[in-house]
Structure 1
Amino acid sequence: MVEGFGKGHHLHLIDGSAFIFRAYHALPPLTRRSDGLPIGAVAGFCNMLWKYIQDGNGSDAPTHAAVIFDHSAKTFRNDIYPLYKANRPELPEDLRPQFPLTREATRAFNIACIETEGYEADDIIATLSCQAREAGGRVTIISSDKDLMQLVGGGVEMLDPIKGKAIGPDEVREKFGVGPERVVDVQALAGDSVDNVPGAPGIGIKTAAQLIGEYGDLETLLARAEEIRQPKRRQTLIENAEQIRISKRLVQLDCATPLDFGFDTLSIREPEPGALLDFLTRMEFRTLTNRVAERFGAEAPPPPEAAPAQAEGAELPAIERSLYTIIRDEEALAEWLAEIAEKGVVAIDTETTGLDEMQAELVGVSLCTGPGRAAYLPLGHVDGAADLFGSGARAAGQMPMARALEMLKPVLEDAAVLKIGQNIKYDWKILARHGIRMAPIDDTMLLSYALNAGAHNHGMDELAREYLGHDCVPIKALIGSGKAQIGFAQVAIDKAGEYAAEDAEVTWRLWHHFRPKLAPNRVTTAYERLERPMVPVLAAMEMAGVRIDAEHLKRMSNAFAQKMAGLEDEIHGLAGESFNPGSPKQLGEILFDKMGLTGGKQGKTGAYSTSADVLEDLAAEGHDLPARVLDWRQLSKLKSTYTDALPTFVNPETGRVHTSYSIAGAQTGRLASTDPNLQNIPVRTEEGRRIREAFIAAPGMRLVSLDYSQIELRILAHVAAIPALKQAFREGIDIHAMTASQMFGVPVEGMDPMIRRRAKAINFGVIYGISGFGLARNLRIPRSEAQAFIDTYFERFPEIRAYMDSTVADAKENGFVRTLFGRRIMTPGINQSGPAAGGARRAAINAPIQGAAADIIRRAMIRMPEAISGLPATMLLQVHDELVFEVEEGAVDDLIAAARAVMEGAADPAVHLDVPLVVEAGQGASWAEAH
């Protein structure tokens, strides 16, 4: 007999992780009124525990109980198979801070709370179940997790907490086709895509059960695999025998998990009313607090007062800069840090010597904890007078930077203190270079973006005017402009303090304005799972940077210059005179005045338009001069934007190029890359593709590219519910050939490549609302013929027209559209008339498709760091539907497997797409080789 437990005893084991995730996904997002802390999952978890306690007083009541949690993502199974659970989604950002609160809740309910490092909750449940069964007692596992069904039998049963249904041997046999004692064998064969257990390719639960039923057990099956009649199944078992055995080790629960407690600690105990009510009151669960108080005959504590900014109808006092303080010594900083720790939330802003986060030096930090409660901590100001002589002497009245950062670090990394910033990725990187990794964080720019993408820009000055009615001090008022401009480090500390502290207070006020609006506008999920978690992911990518071959770029620049000179000679010959092809005015006069070409339109200045559209139309009509000018322009842009410019962006300390991604740059959720822009490198021309040759891997490393295949067409097939397209994607058919066959009635086999090209142009063009005029230009065919193609397309796929019409109607009614993942994209101008309305209509049609594609790759990027954490690999770049990694040569295949699993599963579980996501992978010494 196990000490403290034996015959007549009944143990309840609650799967805590299952409770948490069920509560999280079943309930709408909820935040604590006083400070915006996410508490939705905690609320659901507490209600489930309370229901459990209320229902647990019958004749079959437990004598012992415990809630079992997973300790961490990495367990001994990762040592067996590094890719175990590699495609599991990263923990939602709003769920992460709720996990420790659920442990606290369990203890508040006076129930044993158990977790063990290196082991999963299922292993602890298995160990306790085996020990209790051997001691002669009974066990009820409160969970519906299929992985626990191998434990059922011999006094152990399961209970589905939602359905209230008991799960015994018969129910296990109904699910797996075998009894509990053979569940592990079936799981080892079938594998598990959720946990990334490989199993035997092509064998599912039903087939696995048949095989185990026929051969008795897994080892016998593998030993006698040669006897299996079906050739493919026989070959699969023989070739994957070792993989199947590894899979069994992964799914087999460990009944010998080391535990450092006895069964007496699991004895049922009534909750201590004071401790439980205190916890529920702090969480602001008013209804449950009242229920518990009534149950125990206690008085419910008064709820905490709401912060002034969140009290209904409350107005904050006007911003008063004279209230700000300067933190000049350790004592003052310690007082501020104590206040921050007590309040649990602080707005923060950094002042630096420049805009490049990888090279800018820290000048100061501003903090705000409430209206008028803001301060500036100067750290790198120089003495203005002394600096005139280049001495760089520090101004008086500043703490030593190292000591100040040492004091700031614990608070800025404290999981119990929320750090708020405006474009906080910049501050995150600045502080990360000083060894501080801020978490958790909120970003007012991203809050605004989640609520109002497409409505306006999301810079702080604009947001302050729009939502606070406040004009911030302009930076030029401090540093001047032109030749007289100075650096922020040279600004007098008192003036700098007013400016910097104001930024922190404006950020605090914007947060209190935006945060409560997430739930009513149904964008909490989009913000918490698509916006906020991107900050540390992108910051890490940007700080990693990518190597470039400067000599290769120099050679390309010289080649481009020579080719441009040759084109200039050709252009001059076609024009009959010399002129600057880079001058729109001179080019317009040549084309429309001298050569008399049609289509010339003069603007208010009298100059002709020579935009790319104009030149492309002229080239399509067969005119050589505009075609050559387009070639010259393309080379000129490649030379100036990339081959000449990229080497100037190499960081002297790292020797790499560090781009910066804007999370809120595009209304559809696509990222924008700047300084340098690495997302718009042309890939349709040979010259453009060659620029990627200059992006290279470090010695001993390879670059790996993983790219979604036709993701926007796949999303269109799903959202517009187009049976033919969905079937083609499921079967892996050439989608453009299939479309051509549907449209033009020609067989797929032996199709004319030109016909396929036309179908491809329509497939991609329709996503962007292409017109007959635009398609005619792309295909260089008459407009009437192009329009006929489009008309035929909609006849063959009427679901697309229905999707477009319904999307536009929704946009007109609501003023916005949504993606599959809840992103809200405003559609200004949709109800106007004229040309602007046409553009707004096309944008509204495209936004849910392009936005969903952007959301999917964001979800993949957010999950990626954890998935590849055990590999010698780094995620470097994101270019629309492509991710680029740098990885040690020997780990390329492992990285591709792990990253592909994450990317292809990125839509689940939020959205179940009707078509598969497919990711194409490549690797090489350069980006060009990899993609």
Structure 2
Amino acid sequence: MNPADIIYMDLETTGLNPRQDRISLASVNGMIFGEDEIDDLIRLIQEPDITLVGHNLKFDIGFLYARSGHRLSIANLFDTMIAHQLLTAGLETRSSLDNLTRYYLGINLDKTLQKSDWSGNLSQGQLEYAARDSLVLPSLHNLLSGLLQMHTLEKVAEIEFQAIPAISEMEVNGVGLNFEAARLLFENLMKRKLDLEAELIRLVESYGWKPQEKKKASKKGFNPRSNKDVVSAIQIIYGLNVDSCNHDNLELISREYPDIQFASALLEYRDIEKQRGMLEGWIEQAENGRLYPSYFQLGADTGRFTSSKPNIQQIPRDSRIKGLFHARSGYKLIECDFSGIELRIAATLSGDSGLIRIFREGLDPHKTTASGVFHKPIEGVTPTERQIAKSINFGSIYGGSWRILQKAIPGIEEKEARRYLRDFFRTYPGLAEWQDSCELCEKVEFGLQKYCMPRSLSGRYRFVEPKERNKLLNTPVQATGADLLKASLGALYNALCSPEYNDNRILTCIHDSIIIEVPEDRADEIGDLLRNIMVTTGNEMLFPTPCDAEIKIGNDWSFRETS
């Protein structure tokens, strides 16, 4: 092969864990590279003129990265799985290689040998199976490339493809977990849970609560996990008839009746139950003192990441829990988080001059909104009014109704909530016009169903039913946030491919932030590098709205002890 070639690659491995399993062979353009030739393949795919094409390249690159022990500088990538998922975002489809070849090419791939033993001497059948997987890739590549171009998805596809090596690195690196501290916190939560159970039982019995019907002997008394028991207790304690005791209802009851501790104690009990279950899972999943989440690059229809085992996207803000994730000895964690990014994205999408001016002049967006809603100068805005305006800002950009504001802002009536919304959109008329235009966006038919196609600034779309107004409005904002984070991730990875950064690790990304681990003596330098990459990427994507990002440096993810 020469450096002008496209490499169509598929790996076969002895298992799914790149930290423990190994590569058995690589199928490249129908040819077989044995295990002893993998290092030659690693060198080849890093030639600057090579384009690497594969299906689920995150998996393959993860194994190659684990084997080589260093980042792979791959200039050009194309992932057929990611391409298909971009084309069908919002639809229920399957994206395995055999499903794609059947759907696009009319070819049925025999996957019988996929789960066979690849750790020993390989049979002729296994070699032929491996070769077939790479032989179907050229046709898929050509067809999907044309579809991406037809649907104006080339830009966002390139963002996704360039982010793949960083995501592979995140999965191989994992995040450090303080195992002993996790066990201690788990035990303390168990004690607090038992105390709360006793407190809740004492409370309901003091109000004369009794079971509504006979229970088994092992389940006598009040059960805080039983919706039926909680509903009947609320009826007796508060005199309220409720059908459901979800989180929102309990919070509302807790605010309305602050002198009665039942609702607040039950909320704490449920939070502890979640945290206890989470910690129990981490303790079981920990591998050599680290957790290794699996990332789904297009897990959400908006293009946002999802993750599992553990779901690191849903880590509570509780500093006791975040503090369990720590840097190695001699290293620091750095988190860089986009500041106010949803409102900045909304400013560019809508073109509202008032919103854009806020960020260009460095004003406080929540105080500015409060000034418009409460009809007073910015300098006269109170902390309470600013907090109300914050709820209005984040509720309104996603098309939230007055009912959403009522839930978010304690004690306001319908009339007041409606006025807040009216004055918000009078303050930012361009945002109101943009939201109206979202309902008139591109429409297509797929099967027997009609869909709207809201898009991000980079062109990412999502199939949305016309009646789902909130999705029509939140998709462009959320999808642009996904574009921005992944573009930053790809740019960071490319910068860190320089040998001087070999001892810096990309660990994870959460919502609108990227977390890395760096040598202690270079933390400030690498922090500046990360922030500059994210701000530059944001300024280019969100122009004319400027972007900003905040850096935190510390020994653990709580950043209680910062440098």
Tell me the TM-score normalized by structure 2: 0.83
Which residue in the other structure is 1:767 paired with? Answer: 397
The answer to whether the 8 Å contact 1:827/1:843 transfers is: no
Unaligned regions of 5+ residues in structure 1, if any? 1-339, 378-398, 480-485, 601-608, 831-836
Superimposed CA distance per residue, residues 413-446 of structure 1 (whole angstroms, 9 cap, x where no aligned partner): 5555543221111011112222294844321112
Flag the 1:924–1:749 CA change in 2: closer, same or farther, 3 A.
Answer: same
Superimposed CA distance per residue, residues 258-311 of structure 1 (whole angstroms, 9 cap, x where no aligned partner): xxxxxxxxxxxxxxxxxxxxxxxxxxxxxxxxxxxxxxxxxxxxxxxxxxxxxx
Q: Which has the higher contact order (CA 8 A, sep 6+)?
A: 2
Identify the match of residue 698 of structure 1 among 314, 319, 328: 328
Identify the match of residue 886 of structure 1 among 496, 517, 522: 517
Name the SS of the counterpart of 1:533 in structure 2.
helix
- Deviation at residue 884 of structure 1 after TM alignment: 1.7
Unaligned regions of 5+ residues in structure 2, if any? 211-220, 445-450
Which residue in the other structure is 2:21 paired with? Answer: 360
State yes or no: 1:795 paired with 2:432: no
One-letter code of the match for 2:11? T
The answer to whether the 8 Å contact 1:700/1:888 transfers is: yes
Which residue in the other structure is 1:747 paired with? Answer: 377
Identify the match of residue 308 of structure 2 among 668, 674, 698: 674
Which residue in the other structure is 1:581 paired with? Answer: 224
Name the SS of the counterpart of 2:550 in structure 1.
strand
- Deviation at residue 353 of structure 1 after TM alignment: 4.1
Flag the 1:432–1:496 CA change in 2: closer, same or farther, 3 A.
Answer: same
- Deviation at residue 527 of structure 1 after TM alignment: 1.4
Name the SS of the counterpart of 2:149 in structure 1.
coil
The answer to whether the 8 Å contact 1:358/1:429 transfers is: no
The answer to whether the 8 Å contact 2:345/2:542 transfers is: no
State yes or no: 1:851 paired with 2:479: yes
Which residue in the other structure is 2:213 paired with? Answer: none
Flag the 1:912–1:757 CA change in 2: closer, same or farther, 3 A.
Answer: closer
Which residue in the other structure is 1:862 paired with? Answer: 490
The answer to whether the 8 Å contact 2:539/2:545 transfers is: no
Which residue in the other structure is 1:542 paired with? Answer: 171
Flag the 1:360–1:676 CA change in 2: closer, same or farther, 3 A.
Answer: farther
Q: Distance in 1 between matches of 2:292 and 2:304?
A: 19
In the TM superposition, 1:431-450 aligns within 5 A as: 431-435=64-68, 437=72, 439=74, 440-450=76-86
Flag the 1:359–1:617 CA change in 2: closer, same or farther, 3 A.
Answer: farther
Which residue in the other structure is 1:817 paired with? Answer: 454
The answer to whether the 8 Å contact 2:88/2:463 transfers is: no
Identify the match of residue 241 of structure 2 among 598, 606, 609: 598
- Deviation at residue 492 of structure 1 after TM alignment: 8.4
Q: Distance in 2 between matches of 1:912 and 1:882?
A: 17
One-letter code of the match for 1:359? Q
Flag the 1:890–1:375 CA change in 2: closer, same or farther, 3 A.
Answer: closer
State yes or no: 1:658 paired with 2:301: no
Q: Distance in 2 between matches of 1:919 and 1:753?
A: 24
Flag the 1:886–1:492 CA change in 2: closer, same or farther, 3 A.
Answer: closer
One-letter code of the match for 2:550? E
Flag the 1:728–1:429 CA change in 2: closer, same or farther, 3 A.
Answer: same
State yes or no: 1:756 paired with 2:392: no
Identify the match of residue 735 of structure 1 among 342, 345, 365: 365
- Deviation at residue 489 of structure 1 after TM alignment: 5.2
Superimposed CA distance per residue, residues 800-857 of structure 1 (whole angstroms, 9 cap, x where no aligned partner): 21110112211447831222223x2123312xxxxxx2xx321121121222222222
State yes or no: 1:514 paired with 2:152: no
Q: Distance in 2 between matches of 1:575 and 1:404?
A: 70
One-letter code of the match for 2:164? V
Name the SS of the counterpart of 2:473 in structure 1.
helix
Superimposed CA distance per residue, residues 28-71 of structure 1 (whole angstroms, 9 cap, x where no aligned partner): xxxxxxxxxxxxxxxxxxxxxxxxxxxxxxxxxxxxxxxxxxxx
Identify the match of residue 6 of structure 2 among 345, 358, 362: 345
Q: Distance in 1 between matches of 2:400 and 2:128?
A: 51
- Deviation at residue 912 of structure 1 after TM alignment: 5.7
Which residue in the other structure is 1:459 paired with? Answer: 95
The answer to whether the 8 Å contact 1:564/1:632 transfers is: yes
Tell me the TM-score normalized by structure 1: 0.52
- Deviation at residue 895 of structure 1 after TM alignment: 2.0
CA RMSD of aligned residues (A): 3.4
Which residue in the other structure is 2:195 paired with? Answer: 566
Which residue in the other structure is 1:648 paired with? Answer: 284
In the TM superposition, 1:470-509 aligns within 5 A as: 472-473=109-110, 493=123, 496=126, 500-501=130-131, 503-509=133-139
State yes or no: 1:828 paired with 2:459: no
The answer to whether the 8 Å contact 2:3/2:48 transfers is: no
Which residue in the other structure is 2:218 paired with? Answer: none
Flag the 1:615–1:462 CA change in 2: closer, same or farther, 3 A.
Answer: farther
- Deviation at residue 760 of structure 1 after TM alignment: 0.3
Superimposed CA distance per residue, residues 499-557 of structure 1 (whole angstroms, 9 cap, x where no aligned partner): 655544554443232012222222212212x1111111222333333322111111211
Name the SS of the counterpart of 2:291 in structure 1.
coil
**Residues matched between the structures, number:** 531
- Deviation at residue 473 of structure 1 after TM alignment: 4.6
The answer to whether the 8 Å contact 1:773/1:783 transfers is: no
- Deviation at residue 466 of structure 1 after TM alignment: 3.6
One-letter code of the match for 1:743? V
Which residue in the other structure is 1:628 paired with? Answer: 265
Which residue in the other structure is 2:549 paired with? Answer: 919
In the TM superposition, 1:287-302 aligns within 5 A as: none
Name the SS of the counterpart of 1:738 in structure 2.
helix
Q: Distance in 1 between matches of 2:352 and 2:39?
A: 59
Superimposed CA distance per residue, residues 454-474 of structure 1 (whole angstroms, 9 cap, x where no aligned partner): 234452154345434455556
The answer to whether the 8 Å contact 2:338/2:513 transfers is: yes
In the TM superposition, 1:163-312 aligns within 5 A as: none
One-letter code of the match for 2:424? Y
Instruction: Indicate the structure (1 or 2) with the bigger Cα radius of gyration.
Output: 1
Sequence identity (%): 28
Name the SS of the counterpart of 2:454 in structure 1.
strand
